[in-house]
Amino acid sequence: MIELISVLIVGAILFGIGLYGALSQTNLVMIMMGVELMLGAGMLNLVALWRYLHPESYSLQVFVLVGMTVMALEAAVGFAIGTQRFRTKGSVEMEETSEMKE
């Protein structure tokens, strides 16, 4: 019981740190690192729940595999968008996106 609770608390703290990073950074790459931290904390929660509550069913492990796939994919697409933005604007600061309104 106490192992499960301590691992879930670690996941909660990592999620909070990731949320802070995703909200407070101005650069695209740093925002993506915050999102990766949040996804990693989510996967830690999933594995803890698999091991301590239901080790006989594997749908939680499939969820973790899909989560890893999503982490890789959003990194790829995010960097492609960042590349294109860097080519047109010269920087990937997210505060300048309000210039796209006009």
Partner 1 sequence: MITIRLIILIVLGLGAIWFGWRVFMTSSMVRSAFSLLANMAILGMMFLVMRAEFLAVLQIMMMATEMSIMAIFMMMYMMDPGGMGDMDMSHQKKTSIALALLAGVAVILIVGFSQWDAIAENVPTTAQQNYDLGMELMKRSMMIFETAGTSILVAMIAAAASALPFKNRKK
> Interaction with partner 1 in 40-99: which residues (CB under 8 A)?
40, 43-44, 47-48, 50-56, 58-59, 61-62, 64-66, 68-69, 71-73, 75-77, 79-84, 86-87, 91-92, 95
CB 36 within 8 A of CB 71: yes
The two tokens of residue 66 are 């899909």
Site string for partner 1, 8-47 (x = CB under 8 A): xxxxxxxxxxxxxx-xxxxxxxx-xxx-xx--x--xx--x
Smallest gap from residue 101 Cβ to partner 1 (A): 18
Give min distance, CB of 42 to partner 1, in A: 11
Q: How many residues bind partner 1, per CB under 8 A?
A: 72
7 burial (CB, 10 Å; 0-12 / 13-18 / 19+) is middle
Angle at 11 between CA 8 and CA 16, to 5 degrees: 130
Taking the complex as a whole, how short is the minimal distance between the CB of residue 13 and partner 1, in angstroms? 5
**Contact indicator for 37, 18 with CB cutoff of 8 Å:** yes
Residue 35: CB minimum distance to partner 1, A = 11
Enter the DSSP assignment of 90.
S
